Chains A and B, each alone.
Chain A
Amino acid sequence: MISVEGLSKRYARNTAVDNISFEVQKGQIVGFLGPNGAGKTTTMRILTCFLPPSAGKASVAGFDVLEQPLEVKRRIGYLPETPPLYPEMEVEDYLRFVGKLKGIPGAELPRRLSDAMEKCAVADVRNKLIAKLSKGYRQRVGLAQAIIHNPEVLILDEPTSGLDPKQIHETRELIKGLAGDHTIILSTHILPEVESICERVIIISKGKVVATDTVDHLTNRLRGSESMLVEVEPRDSAIPLDPQEVQRRLEQVAGVSRVVARDIRSVRLQFEVESLQNRTIRAELARAVVESGWNLNELRPVALSLEEVFLQLTSSDAAASIAGDTPEVIQ
C-alpha cells in the first residue's frame, strides 16, 4: 500500500531523513517510533505530498508522491500534529468544508458527514464553534477530518499528544476501530501506545530506520535470554542471610549466566538473575532457594519492555549491530 525507497530529505544545514526504506501492506497499523526530531513528521509530510523528497521514491497505492500528487492526496487522510482546524467555524460546517475539499460528491456528503461524526464521537458538538471545544474534542474533530472521505491510507502524526489519560484511551480505541478498513501509519514517541495499538513498528532515529518488525519480535529478538527477579528471605528473621552466600548459591544453578544484587540492605535480598540463551531457569531457581533453607518471597520475570528495546536501539552503538540483521521490508 505504501512503499518508500531510499527516501531522503535534506535541508540547508541538516538531513532530516536519510535514505530510509520500508513498506506497509494493506490494512496494517504501523507505528512510527522515534525520539523527537528523528524525522517522523518529515517522512509523513513527504507521504502526504506536503513536502517533496530530496532523493528517493515514495508511493501510496501505486501512485508516486511527486508525479501524481492529486491521486495520492485523494487516497490519504492526514492528521498533522496540531489538528488543522478553523476556530471560527462550527464542527459540522468545518467537516462539510473538508469533505467538499476532498472531493466527496454532494449527494454522498451528508452520509459521510454523519458517519465520520459518529465514528469519532463528535456528533454531540456538531453545532459548536471549534474555538469553544476542549483539546480532546479538537483532536477527535481532527480525526473526523482525516477519515471523512474514507481514505485507503490514514497518516496520523502523534494523535494522542496533549490529551489526558482518558482521552488517550478513547483515541486509541478509536484508531483500533478504524483498522481493517484503512491502512494506518501513526507516529509517536510514547512506547505503550505502539504496544497497545500497532502490529508493526518502524523505529527511526536521526533520520535512519534502525529497526522494522512486529512488536513481539522486537522485544524477543533483543532478549534471547530470560531475566528473573528473585527475592529471598531467611526463615528466621532474627538471623540475617549473608548476601554473598546467597549470590554464590544462585550462580551455581544450572543455566544461569549472571547474578546481580539489586537490593541487599534489608532482611529481604533481591537479585536479578539472567539465564543463558534459550534456557528456562525458574524451576531450578525456586528449588535451589528452598533447598538451601530460605524463604522464596518473589520470583518473577523482568520483562524487557519496548522502552528498553527502544533505548537500546536508539543509543547509537546498539543500533549499528541490530540494524545489520534487520529485514527492511515489513511483510
Chain B
Amino acid sequence: MRNVGTIFSKEIRTYFTSPVAYGLMAFFAILSGYFFYVYVAIFVTRGMESQMAGRAMPMDVNEWVVRPVLMNVSVIGLFLIPLITMRVFSEEKARGTMELLTTSPVRDMEIILGKWFAALAMYAAIVAVAFLNILFLYLYGKPEITPILTGFLGLVLQGGMLLAIGTFISTTTKNQIVAAFSTFAICLILWVLDWVSSVSQEAWAKVVSYLSVVTHFEPFSKGVIDTKDVVFYLTMIFLGLFLTARSLESERWRA
C-alpha cells in the first residue's frame, strides 16, 4: 500500500506542476459555467412566464437546473478523460522511465493503482469545479442535496471506469496522440451506444444500450443509487485495470 501512495503522490504532483491541469480546469469551468448559465436562464424565464400566465407551475430547481447540468458535465467529462489518461503509461514508455518503475521492488498492480487513483483524483478535482456553480443555487433557493451528492458520486464512478479503460489504452502505445485519440473514440462509442434504445426495443438493443455509460449515469443525476449501475461501473473499472496489468505483463514477455 505504501508503494501505491508513493506513486499516487508523485503522479498528483506531476499533474499539478504542469499547466495541463490548470488548463483543463479553466476549460471545464468555462464550459460548465456556460451550461449552468443557460439552464438557470431557462429556469428564470419559465418562472416569469408562469407568473405572467397567472397560474402557478411546479418549479423544480433540481429537475430543471441540477439534473441537466450534471448530464452535460458527464458528457464533457468524456472529452476530459483522454487528455488525462493519454500520458499515464505512454509517457513513461517514451521516456524510458518504465524501466525505473519495473525494476523497483514494486508490484505492477501497485503502479497501476497508484496511477489510476491519481488520475481519478485529478478528474474529480476538475469536475468539482462544476459543483461550485451549483452551490450558488443555495443563495437563492433550496435545491435538494441528495441528487447533487449522488450526481458527484456517479460522475466519479463513470470517470473511474473511463479512466481505467484509458489507462489500459495508454499501455499499448508510446505515442500520446494515438493513446488520446483511441481513448476518445472509445468514450464516444460508449456514449452513443445508448441511442439505439430509441430505435429498437429488441434484446440486442437492450444489451448494447446497457453498455453505454450514459444509461447508467442518469439515475445518479436523479438522486437514485441503483446497485445495477454501481455494479456496472465497478465491473468495468476492474476489467480496465485487469487489462492494464495483463498488457504490462504481456509486453514484458514479448519485448
For B102, what are the chain A residues with a Cβ–Cβ distance below 8 Å? 49-50
Q: Take A86-B14, A88-B18, A97-B10 as given contacts and tell me if A73 and B99 are in contact as well, using a CB distance cutoff of 8 Å.
A: no
Chain A interface size range: 20 to 34
Chain B residues touching A, range: 20 to 34
- A84 and B255 within 8 A (CB): no
Which residues from B are CB-within-8-Å of A70?
105, 107
Mark interface residues in B1-30 (1 if CB within 8 Å of A CB, else 0): 011001100100110011000000000000
Given contacts A84-B95, A84-B96, contact A50 B105 (CB under 8 A): no
B18, A74: Cβ atoms under 8 Å? no
Query: Closest approach, in angstroms, between the C-beta of B94 and any C-beta of chain A?
Result: 11
B104 touching A50, Cβ below 8 Å: no
Which residues of A have CB within 8 Å of B7? 101
Nearest A residue to B5 via CB reads A100
Q: Is A50 a contact of B252 with CB atoms below 8 Å?
A: yes
- Asked if residues A48 and B103 are in contact (CB atoms below 8 Å), the reply is yes
Task: Give the distance in Å from the alpha carbon of A84 to the alpha carbon of B103 in the complex.
Answer: 11
Q: Kindly state whether residue A290 has any CB partner on chain B within 8 Å.
A: no
Q: Is B52 an interface position by the 8 A CB rule?
A: no
Query: From residue B138, how far is it (CB to closest CB) to chain A in Å?
Result: 39
The 8 Å CB contact of B103, one of A76, A83, A103, is A76
Query: Residues of A contacting B10 with CB < 8 Å?
Result: 97
Q: Mark B85-116, 1 if CB is under 8 A from A, else 0.
A: 00000000001111111111111000000000
The secondary structure that dominates the B interface is: helix
Asked if residues A86 and B95 are in contact (CB atoms below 8 Å), the reply is yes
For residue A72, which residue of chain B has the nearest CB? B105
* Listed residue (B96, B101, B107) with the most chain A CB atoms within 10 angstroms of its CB: B96
Q: Which of A48, A51, A76, A82 contacts B96 (CB 8 A)?
A: A82
Contacts of A85 in B (CB 8 A): 95, 97
Contact yes or no, B105 A102, CB < 8 A: yes
Tell me which residues across on chain A come within 8 A of B17, comparing CB atoms: 88-89
Q: Which of A52, A74, A80, A87 contacts B105 (CB 8 A)?
A: A74
Give chain B's interface residues, CB within 8 Å of chain A: 2-3, 6-7, 10, 13-14, 17-18, 95-107, 252-253, 255
Chain A residues within CB distance 8 Å of chain B: 45, 48-52, 70-71, 73-74, 76, 78, 80, 82-89, 93, 97-98, 100-103, 145
Q: Report the 3 A-B pairs with minimum CB-CB distance, sorted nearest first.
A: A84-B100, A73-B105, A84-B97
